[in-house]
């Protein structure tokens, strides 16, 4: 089996030009023979400024919970943010090498919302890295969480582009399923909440994202519920890899 050297990340070019990184793959790995690729894509546009710290705490809670899971040694995590552009905070890393404290002070809200670009790079990187691992003898599946509170006003890619990359992932025989989840932060105290809700649900349907869920209260309580959902979903998808049934995974919010 190939070696995954968690101390060194390889850089990968992509057709979209976004690029991504992941743990270096060598030739002598004697650990896990399968991995679930977890990608968290978070909106850091100006409108999330009032709950930056809640998002960071949510991310830390997810990491802590997953590190206690029986499948913790089979997880790799990538964290991406988007506002007017897209930033890879860190590439695919073995879960045990990530401290939840790394997410403190990681959210600095400003700028617009490149939702389509953020969605695309998360799915593209999962697909390409999954194929890379498969070719090295590692079984792999994945789950992508796209967290946002608004509609797109900054992307260079279209809904059609996002739909195509999701279809590519669905048809791939080298990655054993990629589950995609759109998370809407839609606080009902704001006037445009229903408009945002409809936009996000329509976006999910148009591009083919598997599931849309939302929190209606951008508070510590709301994000605690989200953290529990994300953690349980990661566990379900990872467990499905060991049974070969990723495509039938059902997530409950």
CATH of the domain at 238: 3.40.50.410
Residue 20 domain-assigned (yes or no): no
Domain count, the chain: 1
**What's the pLDDT at 192?**
80
39 close to 81: Cβ distance less than 8 angstroms: no
Predicted pLDDT of residue 234: 95
Q: Which pTM value belongs to this model?
A: 0.94
Determine, yes or no, domain membership for 197. yes
> What does residue 29 show for φ and ψ, rounded to 5 degrees?
-70, 130
- Provide the domain limits for residue 199: 30-244
DSSP 131-176: HHHHHTT-EEEEEEEEEESS--SS-SS-HHHHHHHHHHHHH-SSSS
- CA dist 233 and 253 (Å) reads 9
Distance from the Cα of residue 183 to its chain's centroid: 11
4 inside domain: no
**DSSP string computed for 178-246:** EEEEEEEE--TTSTTHHHHHHHHHHHHHHHT-SEEEEES--SHHHHHHHHHHHHHHHHHHHHHHHHT-G
23 inside domain: no
On whether residue 21 sits in a domain, the answer given is no
Whether 112 maps to a domain, the answer reads: yes
Helix (H, G, I), strand (E, B) or coil at 127: helix
C-alpha span between 66 and 71 (Å, rounded): 8
Q: Can you give the pLDDT of all 253 residues of the chain as single tens digits? A: 444 544 578 899 999 999 999 988 777 555 578 999 999 999 999 999 989 999 999 999 999 999 999 899 999 999 999 999 999 999 999 998 898 888 988 899 999 999 999 999 999 999 999 999 998 889 999 999 999 998 999 999 999 999 999 999 999 988 999 999 999 999 777 768 889 999 999 999 999 999 999 998 888 899 999 999 999 999 999 999 877 777 667 788 8
Domain assignment present for residue 17? The answer is no
CB atoms within 10 A of CB 30: 7
The rounded distance, in Å, linking the Cα atoms of 89 and 91 is 7
Any domain includes 16: no
């Amino acid at each position: 089996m190939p070696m995954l050297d968690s101390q060194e990340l390889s850089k990968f070019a992509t057709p979209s030009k976004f690029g991504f990184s992941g743990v270096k793959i060598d030739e002598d790995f004697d650990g896990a023979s399968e991995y679930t690729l977890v990608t968290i894509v978070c909106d850091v546009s100006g409108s999330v400024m009032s709950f930056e710290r809640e998002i960071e705490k949510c991310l830390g809670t997810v990491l802590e919970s997953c590190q206690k899971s029986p499948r913790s040694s089979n997880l790799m995590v990538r964290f991406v943010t988007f506002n007017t552009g897209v930033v890879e905070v860190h590439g695919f890393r073995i879960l045990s090498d990530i401290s939840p404290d790394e997410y403190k002070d990681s959210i600095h809200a400003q700028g617009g919302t490149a939702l389509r670009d953020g969605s695309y790079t998360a799915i593209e990187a999962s697909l390409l890295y999954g194929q890379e691992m498969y070719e090295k003898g590692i079984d792999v599946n994945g789950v992508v969480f796209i967290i946002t509170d608004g509609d797109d006003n900054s992307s260079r890619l279209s809904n059609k582009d996002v739909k195509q990359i999701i279809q590519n992932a669905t048809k791939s025989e080298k990655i054993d399923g990629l589950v995609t989840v759109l998370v809407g932060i839609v606080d009902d105290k704001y006037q445009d909440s229903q408009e945002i809700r409809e936009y996000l649900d329509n976006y999910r349907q148009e591009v083919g994202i598997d599931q849309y869920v939302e929190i209606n209260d951008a508070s510590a309580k709301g994000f605690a519920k989200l953290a529990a959902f994300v953690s349980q979903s990661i566990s379900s998808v990872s467990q499905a890899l060991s049974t070969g049934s990723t495509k039938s995974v059902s997530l409950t919010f």
